[in-house]
Structure 1
Amino acid sequence: MFLAWNEIKKNKLRFALIVGVLMLVSYLVFFLSGLATGLASLNREAVDKWDATAIVLTEESDKSLPQSSLTTEEADNIKDNDTATLGQLNSIARNGDAKQNIALFGIDSEEFIMPKVTEGEKFAGDNEVIASDTLKEDGFKLGDELELSSTDEKLTIVGFTDSARFNAAPVLYGDVTTFQKVKFGEGAAENETQINGIVVRGDDFSSISTSNEDLEVIEVEEFIENLPGYTEQALTLNFMIYFLFGISSVIVAIFLYVLTVQKISMFGVMKAQGISNGYLSRSVIAQTFLLAFIGVVVGFALTLISGEFLPSAVPVAFDIPTMIIYGVILIVVAILGAVFSVLTIVKIDPLKAIGG
């Protein structure tokens, strides 16, 4: 460590370039991980808020909530578990010049998926809704009367709740009667109540079942993974991060190999003086660790600072434990990249290196 640190201090510019490259790679890795987390949250916030175990949909729906259609009576067939009815449709909400894609959830205010109101009050009647607070950024506010593209019905915002987005769209929560009127028209509330799914909360997923063979019980995480574009989006960003790990290793290997070749004669003299291969190898590994550690820490700090200045429209959410894991991996792959330099040092012949 002593030898490694002294060489870094003596050749500041040379090693600063290596640190700079590692810092940029780590910055990109951390930012991509934040983007992956943020985009995932856009799709699953409202589902995570249920704190549920499973959701029951029709088998023909292919695990898609909008494509499923059943009645509220089906909830009675699910025994020994807490259930909540759910209707869902996508639409465009307008209020004057303000316009936004939304997901309307039809729920029962007495069941567990009822969201906590952070501003305003709960819906108490037909055509009243609680809205995701992200709609405030688009100019929506309490008391606004919303026009939906799919119906002549108008909805009034009576409250706001946090963390409520589904498949990247802000959620509006209303009662099941409101959902029926929006989806099927004014006379629908008098007919059999149609919903899209039944959310289930239980201690054990394997204990959840239904007597109707046309229905399928789906674990919540599996349901999320089948949301349109969710898995593809996550895989794309994760593969980019994995490639960056490999690129980081190659960059460090190239830099250190070039530096090692330039110092062959010096290493030859040191070996002729009796300094062992093990000591020199440990010095290179220690030097690589110091460079990678400094680069990763600086990249980590710059990422968090950048996050403070990003506009709210950028879907970035930094998961600190994940970032720390990625930072450790970056340091490890950088050390692995130093193996080529270590092998070069081991093969140095002291006599040839000093021109003997």
Structure 2
Amino acid sequence: MFLAWKEIKYNKLRYTLITGVLVLVSYLVFFLSGLANGLEQLNREAVDKWNADGIILTEESDINLPRSNMNIDDFNGKGVEAYAALGQLNAIASVGERQSNVSIFGIKEDKLIMPDVTEGESFSEKGEVIADDTLQEEGFQIGDELEISSSDTVLTIVGFTDNARFNAAPVLYTNMDTLQQVRFGEAADNNEGVVNGFVVRGDNLADVSVDDELQVVETSTFIENLPGYTAQNLTLTFMIYFLFIISAVILAIFLYVLTIQKVSMFGVMKAQGIPGKYLAKSVVAQTFQLAVAGVAIGFLLTILTGFFLPAAVPVAFDYLTMLLYGLVLIAVSVLGAFISVRTIVKIDPLKAIGG
């Protein structure tokens, strides 16, 4: 460790450049992990808010809520602790020049998926909605009358709730009658009992009794089948894993070049009786120090960046995940150093010093 630290102090510029590469790689890894976590939450916030164990959908829906259509009488709650009918519709809501993609949830006011109101009041009349607070950040306010795409129905915001986005769209909670009016217009009375699914809570979903046309899906499975959710997460995760490999390769190349440049010096040290094992440990220790410094600086820069990012950027840092990724980066960096270790062990002192 002493030899490793002395060499780093002596060749400051050289090792600063190596550390800089590690800083950039770790910064990118940490930021991508935050982006992956943020996008994940963006898609599933409203589902997590249900605090449910599963959802009942039609068999032909391919575990897709908008494609599932059934009657509210198709399930009577047999085998569950609690349940709630859910209607869902994707739309564009606008007030003047402001507009936003939204997901409208039709629910019963006294059921388990009713959200907590953080500002304003709950809906009580037809046409009233509770909106996710990200709409408030976009300039929407309590009392705004929302025009809904492909519908003549006007919705009025009476309250806001937090953490309620579904498939990246802010959620508008309203009663079933309002949703049916938005969805079917003048034909709403003829489709009064139509819902998209039932959110259920129970210890054993296998005990839930449903018709053959319906299926009970665990909440985790439902989330994984949200459009784009799994593909998006896999893409970002693969990018992070490739960065681990890139980090190891870059550091291995740097250290190998430095080792080749110091072959004669290592040869002299071996000729003086310093064992190759000690020199190898010195290189590993040196790599460990550089990796720790690079990862630590990258971590701090990522956290600092988070304070200046606008709310529109979907980044949410999970410090436990970041710590795990940091340890992996350090580990793969040290593994990359073993190419140089092999070279050091094979150095012949006589040949190295020109004997």
TM interval, shorter chain, is: over 0.9
Please list, as runs of the form range in 1=range in 2, the aligned pairs for 1:65-84 lying within 5 A after superposition.
65-84=65-84
8 Å CA contact 2:79, 2:202 repeated in 1: no
Give percent identity, aligned residues only: 64
Q: What is the alpha-carbon distance in structure 1 between the residues aligned to residue 205 and residue 278 of structure 2?
A: 56
Q: Which residue identity does 1:251 align to in structure 2?
A: I
Q: What is the alpha-carbon distance in structure 1 between the residues aligned to residue 29 and residue 74 of structure 2?
A: 46
Per the alignment, residue 88 of structure 1 pairs with: 88
Q: Which runs of 4+ in 1 moved over 6 A?
A: none
- SS at 1:185's partner residue? helix
Q: What is the alpha-carbon distance in structure 2 between the residues aligned to residue 83 and residue 301 of structure 1?
A: 45
8 Å CA contact 2:184, 2:191 repeated in 1: no
Aligned-CA RMSD value: 1.2
In terms of mean alpha carbon deviation, does 229-238 or 197-206 score higher?
Answer: 197-206
Per the alignment, residue 259 of structure 2 pairs with: 260
Pair 174,198 (structure 1): closer, same or farther in 2 beyond 3 Å: same
The CA deviation string for residues 135-189 of structure 1, in whole angstroms up to 9 with x for no partner, is: 0122100011111012111111000001111111110000111111111224524
Structure 2 unaligned blocks of 5 or more = none
Please list, as runs of the form range in 1=range in 2, the aligned pairs for 1:84-233 lying within 5 A after superposition.
84-186=84-186, 188-189=188-189, 192-207=192-207, 209-233=208-232
Q: Which residue identity does 2:286 align to in structure 1?
A: Q
Once the two structures are TM-superposed, the CA of residue 231 in structure 1 deviates from its matched residue by: 1.0
Per the alignment, residue 322 of structure 1 pairs with: 321
In terms of mean alpha carbon deviation, does 267-276 or 232-241 score higher?
Answer: 267-276
Q: What is the alpha-carbon distance in structure 2 between the residues aligned to residue 13 and residue 203 of structure 1?
A: 61
In terms of mean alpha carbon deviation, does 165-174 or 192-201 score higher?
Answer: 192-201
Q: What is the alpha-carbon distance in structure 2 between the residues aligned to residue 349 and residue 206 of structure 1?
A: 69
Pair 144,334 (structure 1): closer, same or farther in 2 beyond 3 Å: same
8 Å CA contact 1:86, 1:105 repeated in 2: yes
8 Å CA contact 1:75, 1:83 repeated in 2: no
Per the alignment, residue 309 of structure 2 pairs with: 310
Q: What is the alpha-carbon distance in structure 2 between the residues aligned to residue 105 and residue 14 of structure 1?
A: 59
**How many residues matched?**
355
Once the two structures are TM-superposed, the CA of residue 192 in structure 1 deviates from its matched residue by: 4.1
Once the two structures are TM-superposed, the CA of residue 205 in structure 1 deviates from its matched residue by: 3.4
Structure 1 unaligned blocks of 5 or more = none
Q: What is the alpha-carbon distance in structure 2 between the residues aligned to residue 242 and residue 79 of structure 1?
A: 43
8 Å CA contact 2:19, 2:290 repeated in 1: yes
Once the two structures are TM-superposed, the CA of residue 119 in structure 1 deviates from its matched residue by: 0.4
